[in-house]
Structure 1
């Protein structure tokens, strides 16, 4: 397969932290992360709830802007190795200053400065509230997003436990982000069924859906996504690792694509799921026969859906043009 530049739209900055990076920080600080790692050094979890617990435990070693700057460098260097030319990372003020706008600004600047030192890749930040922290806490994340919206912070989203509450519970936060000019996405249709995607579209008025794979359960929803060209940020390896689908053959990404739904490919939290973006595409080729044309089309769809300025989008699309 030709090496085609890649665009990643669904990447959690803390979830992309190399285990060795987190272990190193813990050792520097003398912190005990017992239960977080397997004997081979990988992250330890067996189900989605354990994954969330381990994720949050690993985040406890990230306690200052300088560390998030170092984390950004480590994550982007991994992405560059995978041929990624543009990435959007979910950044949570809950893990960066506890939702205080002033503290969040310092964290954001540290991440932005780290990204600027790696010209091989463009990065934008999607400020993300944590669903299982509740609607009131989400408002603090939305305020942080609104106060720092600009060239680097371009979107607002929601992660966390999709089974807590309803999408509409967070409408106030989304309205705040929308009024600040931020573009909107949310995790839906990973665990909550097709109904959660309908909720996200109706109650939060998002333009992209994180995961969204349960949409396949509702033919009317699939038709709606295709008709309105609503982009899904699909993370196949994550879905299989967490048991949303039992194996790659069962994953609906190809069925969705064949029905005209714009799909993109991302890694979500790659070291947790023992994956890379190159591995995702290799498995999609092996499982569904994706060739260079499909891979290019998927990345063009990602470029068009990216929460970036017109000049950056034009640059990305030019880089994705066939060379021969």
Structure 2
């Protein structure tokens, strides 16, 4: 679908085209051949194996220049799908080992690539700094310091990703408090591998305004009503959920029912090459599954932009691009 799109839930390393990672590994003579299938795509068996493959792929990204190249490669794919604004999760865990000085160098390279892509591809990028849940709360504090020290026009948010079954959201409250005090806006992965209580915990203990995934709220209709009443935005990644086996198919995915019940849903790809998807494909499959027309998708794009963590000037600049009469 060629409509202009806004994406709020994209992991930068997870969006790396397999050919890009394979080529970088060959340049550096690093053998990660075991993470690829015969057709050249990423190979994994389940979510927990996916995390290992993800980290193996990321291991070849060892310099700011690598991340500059990665960012351009990812945004080129986004632009092909009509994405005009994108927020990506960035982890100082991978970018400089949580060292603030190194993190600044990586961040500068990513932001520079984002500026180049905005000029040449028409897609605007912003960053959400994100500790990895299964690395633990102490390392998250170092990530939060990196986030707080670099908050600004480009670094606009703070989140939490990784294995939802490790620890509790409240374990990371200190880090989220630091990010909040630095003026960053907050999101958290929840309600993907655990049920509604995981979402409630994130909302209560971390006071986030968006939930990454959040689809298992559908198992508790009182929570669904609460999300709708409070305007909590869900960063829904249907193709990811289906590829990982959380739901058996597109028509069985709860995004349709969540939208019908008034929840603010958005659409994203999560880690697109891992899940053989693109933003254009997500829109096409959702249109087939739920008979959504152009009006629904324009509404979702506006909801996404309203929920974006960027500054008001950036939002005002992007908004006209989503209108039907935009040339």
- What TM-score bracket applies, with the shorter chain setting the length? over 0.9
Matched, 1:129 2:131: yes
For residues 144-293 of structure 1, the aligned pairs below 5 Å read: 144-293=146-295
Structure 1 CA distance for aligned equivalents of residues 65 and 310 of structure 2: 25
Once the two structures are superposed, residues 103-150 of structure 1 have per-residue CA deviations (whole angstroms, 9 ceiling, x without a partner) of 000000000001101221110000000000000011111010000000
Match of 2:44 in 1: 45
The aligned counterpart of 1:30 is 29
Distance in 1, matches of 2:15 and 2:131, equals 17
What secondary structure does 1:186 align onto?
A: strand
Residue 113 of structure 1 is matched in structure 2 by 112
Structure 1 CA distance for aligned equivalents of residues 315 and 28 of structure 2: 41
Aligned to 1:295: 297
Distance 1:250 1:74 in 2: 32
The alignment covers a number of residue pairs equal to: 323
DSSP-derived class of the 2:299 partner = helix
> Using the alignment, how far apart are the partners of 1:281 and 1:78 within structure 2?
15
Give a deviation string over 1:11-55, Cα, whole Å, max 9, x none.
Answer: 000000000000000000000003200011000001000100000
Distance 1:146 1:103 in 2: 15
Greater percentage in helix: 2
Is the partner of 1:129 in helix, strand or coil?
coil
- The whole-number CA distance in structure 2 between the counterparts of 1:81 and 1:27 is 26
Q: Quick one: distance in 1 between partners of 2:177 and 2:258?
A: 29
Q: Distance in 2 between matches of 1:84 and 1:73?
A: 14
Following the alignment from structure 1 to structure 2, what is the Cα–Cα distance between the partners of residues 195 and 287? 28
Calculate the aligned-residue CA RMSD, in Å: 0.8
Question: Residue deviations 1:276-310, cap 9 Å, x none?
Answer: 00000000000000100000000000000000011
Shift of 1:246: 1.3
Give the Cα separation in 2 of the matches to 1:57 and 1:319.
Answer: 37
* 1:65 alignment counterpart: 64
SS of aligned partner of 2:131: strand
Deviation digits for residues 149-171 of structure 1 (CA, Å, limit 9, x no counterpart): 00000000010000001011100
Q: 1:205-245 CA deviation, whole Å, 9 max, x = no partner?
A: 00000000000011111011100111000000000000111
Aligned to 1:84: 83
4+ aligned runs moved over 6 Å, structure 1: none
Distance, in Å, in 2 between the alignment partners of 1:323 and 1:234 is 27
SS at match of 2:130: strand
1:83 and 1:319 map into 2 onto residues whose CA distance is: 11
Structure 1: tracts of 5 or more residues without a match: none
Q: Which moved more, 1:241-250 or 1:161-170?
A: 241-250
